[in-house]
Structure 1
Amino acid sequence: MPLARIILSALLSFTVYPLTTVAADNGYQPSAGTPWQLQLQGILNTRYDVVVYDVDLFDTPAAQIKAMQQQGRKVICYFSAGSVEDWRDDIAAIPKSAIGKPLDDWPGERWLDIRDKQVWRTMQNRIKLAAQKGCDGVDPDNVDGYQNASGFALTAQDQVKFNRFLAQCAHILELSVGLKNSLGLIPELVNDFDFAVNEQCLEYQECDALLPFIQQNKAVFHVEYQQRPNLCQYANQHQFSTLLLPLKLDGRLLQGCR
């Protein structure tokens, strides 16, 4: 049996193998310093002169993804992997026992028990949807539940196993995949992921934790929501792809470091 089929069978049975066996040769690999834009709400503003757009998986039609790609852009599709949003239409199969505490400041969103295999199936299907829509990569959010008051006794190794599973699913389908925040797991996962997505590392003085991605020439797509005095100084020195954006992520760009 071909190796790819063996690994896909393993994924369907939720056995996780080292990512080096499944990395896609033809997947998109954004390099350090790649210009980007992040928009998750509102009518998509495609007028920015950037290489990568990070957009909502569910709300962005396949035709719009294709149109951006025809303009020479790469499209990364965002979805939440570690939480459930009560307005999504694919969550009926997630058992109530796997739905935990609310996320701070995000009404209608709750942490998930990432050990539950139905959660795994749901997220695998979301990655399949990204491939069906033609996305170049995926941006799975909230993959740091082990560090938060999720309502579940999650460990760092629970998180590593789940995050690595997401990466494997993406690579099987020749999609690139980003590690969102989850800074404490970067030493274990930098080789598994193709880029990083980070929010507010300057505000919390933790940007240096992301440098292993830069050292491998992998993009660090970085967002701040409040102006920092050294915003572009740090970005330009370390080849971060840094944006200052409004918290609504509605298509406005307050400042870009490019």
Structure 2
Amino acid sequence: MRERYFVLLLIFLFLYSSLSMAESDNVKKPLPTAIISYLLDNASLQVPSLNDTWQWQLSGNINTSYDVSVYEIDLFETSEETIKILQAKEIYVICYFSAGSLEDWREDKDQFDDSVIGKAYGGWAGEFWLDIRSQNVKDVMLSRLDLARQKGCDAIEADNVHGFEEDTGFPLTAEDQLKFNRSLAFEAHNRAMAIGLKNDSSQAEELVDDFDFAVTEELFEFSEESALSFFITKGKPVFNAEYGEDYLNNEQHRAAMCLQSNALGFHTIILPLGLDDAFRYDCYVEEGSVDTKLTR
């Protein structure tokens, strides 16, 4: 993990310039507390590194025993106690929530206006696309970011931020998506949390400077690995999960995929689609050769 120490320099420069101005005017001027608070918060902002390994579990009792440096867990379903247990092991905690869809089992579902709820999200019961242009949607997401900060999350992963490519029921444009995604990144950073770009691979090059890492699904299944190379080039990790049964059942295919993943600098694990820790294969390199490790 890396801390953004450059923010400390900003704090020093700001304090120095403010004091100099006060002395020149021979008047004591209070510093803007909101700005100082923002700078102090961001001074401790941590981001994952290219060397970090990860585990992803969104359902069931969280298995905290994996020897990895990053965990991604569900924002709503995971207790503050579990987050503290992970962090006590010096594990970096990413909290998941959907930013582009309504899930009808979430505790804040009634905060969405009827007018912002679009078409059903194909393949996922009880989930519907949202109109990301709406201030109502943005306000709910700000509340979720506040919850993540309250629970002590180190970072957040905002899912379903590619609605402009889907049949959402709203005329969303690529520019709408960029604006929404960048606002999420800004607000996460404003709360001293890092943020990962999720699955919006077609806009990865445009968003790489706004986001701190990427989380992807089935990157190799759909041959989208080239789009995420921008993150690696910038020194930002790409955490990938594969669900294909072929990778689960065919050791040779699994090893070939892991070889490719490791060569590209991605961190790939093979998981059940339900992300319930039923099994877990981890791609890793040992003594120059590639193997796959069943860790569950």
TM-score, normalised to structure 2, is 0.79
Tell me the residue number matched to 2:130. Answer: 112
Tell me the residue number matched to 1:170. Answer: 188
Tell me the residue number matched to 1:151. Answer: 169
Matched position secondary structure for 2:202: helix
Deviation of 1:2 (Å): 4.3
Tell me the residue number matched to 1:96. Answer: 114
Q: Is there any run of 5+ residues in structure 2 with no aligned partner, and where?
A: 1-30, 248-252, 285-296
Q: What does 1:43-62 correspond to in 2, within 5 Å?
A: 43-62=61-80
Matched position secondary structure for 1:119: helix
Deviation of 1:205 (Å): 0.7
Tell me the residue number matched to 2:17. Answer: none
Asked whether the 8 Å contact 1:28–1:136 carries over to 2, the reply is yes
In structure 1, C-alpha distance between the alignment counterparts of 2:198 and 2:187, rounded to whole Å: 16
1:124-162 Cα offsets, whole Å, 9 max, x none, are: 110110000000000100000001111110000100010
How many residues are treated as equivalent by the alignment? 246
Asked whether the 8 Å contact 1:4–1:172 carries over to 2, the reply is no
Tell me the residue number matched to 1:197. Answer: 215
Cα distance change, pair 3–191 in 1 and its aligned pair in 2 (3 A): farther
Deviation of 1:4 (Å): 5.7
Matched position secondary structure for 1:24: helix
Deviation of 1:91 (Å): 2.2
Q: Which has the larger radius of gyration?
A: 2
In structure 1, C-alpha distance between the alignment counterparts of 2:80 and 2:147, rounded to whole Å: 10
Tell me the residue number matched to 1:15. Answer: none
Deviation of 1:3 (Å): 9.4
Deviation of 1:36 (Å): 0.3
The equivalent position to 2:280 in structure 1, one of 248, 254, 257, is 254
Q: What does 1:209-224 correspond to in 2, within 5 Å?
A: 209-224=227-242
Tell me the residue number matched to 2:258. Answer: 232
Matched position secondary structure for 2:46: coil
Matched position secondary structure for 1:159: helix
1:2-21 Cα offsets, whole Å, 9 max, x none, are: 49649x8xxxxxxxxxxxx9
In structure 2, C-alpha distance between the alignment counterparts of 1:231 and 1:33, rounded to whole Å: 19
In structure 2, C-alpha distance between the alignment counterparts of 1:253 and 1:37, rounded to whole Å: 11
Q: Which has the higher contact order (CA 8 A, sep 6+)?
A: 1
Matched position secondary structure for 1:92: helix
Asked whether the 8 Å contact 1:143–1:181 carries over to 2, the reply is yes
1:61-104 Cα offsets, whole Å, 9 max, x none, are: 11110111001111100000000000111122211110001111
In structure 2, C-alpha distance between the alignment counterparts of 1:234 and 1:3, rounded to whole Å: 49
Tell me the residue number matched to 1:18. Answer: none
Deviation of 1:25 (Å): 3.9
Tell me the residue number matched to 2:59. Answer: 41
In structure 1, C-alpha distance between the alignment counterparts of 2:258 and 2:224, rounded to whole Å: 16
Tell me the residue number matched to 2:101. Answer: 83
Tell me the residue number matched to 1:65. Answer: 83
Structure number with the higher helix fraction is 2
Deviation of 1:60 (Å): 0.5
Matched position secondary structure for 1:84: strand
Q: Is there any run of 5+ residues in structure 1 with no aligned partner, and where?
A: 9-20
Letter in 2 for 1:146: F
Deviation of 1:24 (Å): 3.3
In structure 2, C-alpha distance between the alignment counterparts of 1:158 and 1:3, rounded to whole Å: 33
Identity percentage of aligned residues:
47
Asked whether the 8 Å contact 1:236–1:257 carries over to 2, the reply is yes
In structure 2, C-alpha distance between the alignment counterparts of 1:2 and 1:106, rounded to whole Å: 47
